[in-house]
Structures are given as C-alpha cells and as structure tokens.
Chains A and B, each alone.
Chain A
Amino acid sequence: MQKLVILAKKDLEAFISSLAQSQKVVAPVSRGHHNFSFAEVTSAKEITLKYIPTILPPKKYFLPTRESLAVYDKHQKSLNAVLEYEKLVIFGVHTCDLAGIQCLNMVFSDKPKDINYIVRKNKIAIIGLECNEYCDEYASCHVVNNHLPNGGYDLFFTDLGDIFIVHVNTMLGDDLVNKAAVFRPADLKAKEALELLRAKKKEIFKNEVNVRHDALRLLFNYAPKSKVWEGLDKRCVACGNCTNVCPTCYCFDIIDEANLDLNSGSRYRRWDSCQSEPFAKVAGNENFRKERGQRQLHRYLRKFKYPVDKYSRYFCTGCGRCSRTCMAQIKLKETINDLAKEIK
C-alpha cells in the first residue's frame, strides 16, 4: 500500500537536525558557483535543495574512492579481510543518482557477491528528492527514463512549494518519519498537486537526443564500426574525469600499501579509470586499448550496450556529469546524435 506523508518546509530543519542527532547525515551543499557536493550536515540550513548534480555522485558512500579490503602482517604471514562501513542517511538524492545506485547494486550483488559493498549499502538510508524541472542542458534523464522516481529509496521528497510530499517506500523510511514526529498524512490537495506536477513534468522532460529509449541499444550495436570515435580520439585528453564522476563507473585497482613499520599494511582498492592509458596494459607492455578513441568507445559501450545485454538496463543515468566535467567538451548528447546521424 502506498504511503504518502507531508512535511511542511519550515519543519525540514526539525527533521534534519533530529536525524543528525542519531547518525551522520549527508546532503547536497553548495561549493561555489554551479558546484555542489554531498557532505555532512547537521542543519537544513546547510543544504541546497535546488542543485545540479553534485561533482561526485553519492556512489562515493557506496564504493568509497579508497577502501581497505584486507590488512596484512608480514611477520605473522597473515592477511585478514576487513570491511569499512558507516551508518549514514543520504538526503536529497535525485532520481538519476538513485538509478546509479541501483546499477551499482546489480553489479556488486552479481555473483560472486561483493560483501564489502553489500554490507555497506545496507547501512545507508536513502532519501530521494524529485527534480521538478531540468537541472541544466547537460542532463539526458528522459531518454534513459530516470526523470521520474523508479524506486531505490527509503523516502522520496517532492517539493510542492510550502510543503514536501513524501513517499514512504520502506519500513526504514517509515521509522525515520515516525521518529521525527513532524510529518502528517498527505491530504487530497497535496496528492492532487503531486499528480499535477508529474503531468507537468511530462511536458517539460522530452527526449534529449534524436534517438528513442529503445533504439539507443540498437544504435550501440553499430557503435564499434562508427567514425565518431576517431573524432573523440583527437579530443579526449584521457584525464579520467568522466569515469570518476559517473554514478555507474565502478572499475577499481587493488594496491598493497605498507604502514610505516614496513611490516604491516593494507590491501586496498581505489577507483580506477578505463580512460587511463595503462588500464588494459598487461605485463610485457601489450596494451589492449591503446587509443583514446577505443577507450571512449569502451566507456560508451559500458553504459549503453554491455549492461543492457546483461542486466537489461542502461548504465547511463542521464545525470550529465561526464559532459559537464569533460575538459575537452566531449558531450554525451552530441556523441549520441553524431552516431545516430551516421546511421540515417
């Protein structure tokens, strides 16, 4: 049964500060002009409700940039597996980023399961926040069906002016609502306002590229033969910004690091990028993805082809981060349109 409640906007402060008393709360905060990031907050005043996708997606809490997998002791010849986690509430997650977390969940619960990821994810409560309109021109959430909520949250907030209407999706979400004691049941007026907003969104959110949702996957069947990558080969600087900011990029490296005693240390994983030159290089220097164009193709196929065949969903969430951050101004929407042009 669908449960909807209402939070008066003036009571957001009471909600956030009560949450923050019992656990760590992170939410989008402003980092200067057009820059936002998820960071710890203790008061609603620190939160920016109207924000464009944060520099890094909330993936940083699910798959930390750096995480110990094991600790070792050379004298004792021991290697013990470890898990690092933190109880956390993430407030204000947009639907694109909710989709990103859903993608990561699929990958890391695929067998063999990644215990570190799964335990950590279950310690995190997720509170979504609806986008009533486009964040900016880089977003392409409609073509991948992420402009509307598709689950993946405990609570989901929609801004209706003076109030938030809140979808309570899980028992964990219900607990948060009950403990805060500032929510009231949604009335008919609020429910109608939500329906009106969703109807209005249908007008606002339109396909951002010249390809329909279902046709995207077919387009990428053709992609390896395309000339588009030659163009990107000349432009890409292989900085890896696009993969770092991507909510569904999860490639990692595993590295041993000694402590100062040079006896003990940790085996940790950290984010890696398929855009970097040595990513696919083997001992003996054979490099299986030597050209930047090949690596860009690979990045796109990992969003629009391989996961579609394996998990039946696009791993592009439409957040637009890769285009926003690219130093060479490689734009996802442009690449897709260029590809589509070649076919026609």
Chain B
Amino acid sequence: MKKIQLKESEYLVMPAKILKTRMMTATEKYFKIALDGEVSLDHDPGQFVMVSLLGIGEAPISISSSPTKRSYFELVVRNAGRVTNALHQLEAGDSLGIRGPFGRGFPVQVLEGNDLLFVAGGLGVVPLRSLINFVIDNRRDFGKAHILLGCKKPADFLFADEIKDWQKRMDVNFACTVDKAEPDWQGNIGLITSLIPGIDLTPKRTFAVVVGPPIMYKFVLIEILKKEIPEKQIYVSLERHMKCGIGKCGHCQIAQYYCCKDGPVFSYDQIKGNHEAL
C-alpha cells in the first residue's frame, strides 16, 4: 500500500484562532473565531462548519454570527459529546481547524423585501441569530420583522444582551416566553406556540423561519399554518448526525436528502410528508 500526501482534499482544514470565549449557560460556551491570514469565512446565514480538533475529531457546529461581520465568526457550542467537551476546554488564543462553510443556508435573496417571522426554541436561536442579525444589519432591505423566542427557563436564554437590544428596537417586534418561570421573571410563561396566534401579519408577504428542537417543529408549524402563511414561505433548519459534511458518509440522511448538503435549511413544502424529516 502506497501512501502519498494530497495537496487537495475535502478533508483539509483551515487553521483558525479563538479570539474570545464566554460561558453563556452551564452547558453552552460562546466562541469568537478568526481564520488565520485574515481570510473571511464568507458564509450564508444558516450554514455550518466542521470544527476540527487534532486527535479528538470533528463536530458540525452552526454558525451563529451574521456574514456582515467579515473578520470573525461566532459559534455557540453545547457540551454534549467528545469533541464538544474538548472544545469547551479551549480559551482565547488556542487554535483549531475549520472546514466549510457547508450546506444550504437561509435563502436571503428570497426573503429580501418580505415580512419575516422568526421562531426559535432553545438552542435554535444559535443558527437563527445568523439570519436575525443579518436582517438587522441590512434592516431596510426587509419588511416587518417579528422575533419569537422560547426557552425552558429564563437562565437558558442565550445572547441575553443582544436579546435586550432586539427587545428595545423600534424596527423589530420581539416576544419571548419560558416553559417554567422563576419568581423574578416578568415575561410570558407558556410554550412558544402560545405567542404565534397574537402576531399581526400579512400571510402573503410573510416568510416564517423556524429553528428549534425536533419536538417543537410539529406544534409550531401547526400554528404557523393556521396563520395561512404559504407552505413555500416557511423554512426550518434541521439537525442531524454528521461526519463528512459533503454528502457522502450517510449519517445525516433525511430520506432522499443529505442534511449537510441539501439542508440544513429546508422549506416546509420540500419536507412536508417526508417520512424522516419532522
């Protein structure tokens, strides 16, 4: 067996450096990362990267920042497996490898000029934030923007400072809710589905973008469809196990789709009736 070095390979990584980290909750850590050589990641909102740690392995992680921030990108990582656990040990100044960006993100060009309804449950705000902040950075290119966030408890909200800003902005309608409140919580209590009926929207020119845990989609989609938003105008971002990121290894398959290549963003009419999607 001969072994030679390859100059080109889909499995090569781009060297990158961590600029800043911060624990956001007990299990979620924030990373601000820049590719070496001042190269921009140049992603679309909703895409993901494979984070590579030598000797540990790779994990797919959603990009949380808007591509309008060109000199760095942000990830929020839940400590949930071998690679993410090792990632949590890293601090500012440490290096890691990046492959990507991968997948099909949110269809920004399609969304432009239209009203937007963002719905995020739990960690769903992490990928959705890349689009929300893109819209805020290009605010006049989009119509009305409604942001609905839901979490299990108040301490679970990520990006608390930014959420405060979304709350204050006059060009964004913001509402959030928690499943279970603590005594000092002054906001809504209840499932995220309870926020949807009260939204005043024009279904024809509204696009809904929903990101959350698998269980959430079913119920949120029912509420959104009740608002008569056309199926083609509803987008979701799905999570699957991934190893290669390039549509080969088979782990992320959702019936005929590879989540890593055909997704992770899908329109509802694309996956409606799909026996493996929702």
Contacts and interface: CB of A to CB of B under 8 A. Distances in A.
B78 A284 contact: yes
Interface string B253-277: 1111000000000000000000110
Contacts of B81: 283
Contact of B8 (A81, A253, A256, A272): A81
A82 interface: yes
B152 to A, nearest CB: 13
Name A's interface SS: mixed
Contacts of B6: 80-83, 115-116
A20 interface: no
Contacts of B56: 256
Nearest to A282: B241
A161 interface: no
B97 A251 contact: no
A253 B11 contact: no
Nearest to B243: A254
Nearest to A243: B250
A298 interface: yes
B251 to A, nearest CB: 6
B133 interface: no
A265 B53 CA distance: 12
A84 B3 contact: yes
Interface in B218-263: 239-241, 243-244, 246-251, 253-256
B151 to A, nearest CB: 15
A83 B90 CA distance: 31
A301 B253 CA distance: 11
A286 interface: yes
Interface in B59-74: 59
Contacts of A81: 5-9, 11-12
Contacts of B241: 279-282, 288
A258 B53 CA distance: 12
Given A81-B9, A82-B3, A110 B247 contact: yes
Given A254-B58, A283-B78, A224 B3 contact: no
Nearest to A64: B1
A311 to B, nearest CB: 12
Contacts of A86: 1-2
CB-based closest 4 A-B pairs = A251-B250, A81-B9, A283-B80, A81-B6
7 contacts: A77-B15, A81-B11, A83-B5, A116-B6, A252-B244, A254-B244, A309-B256
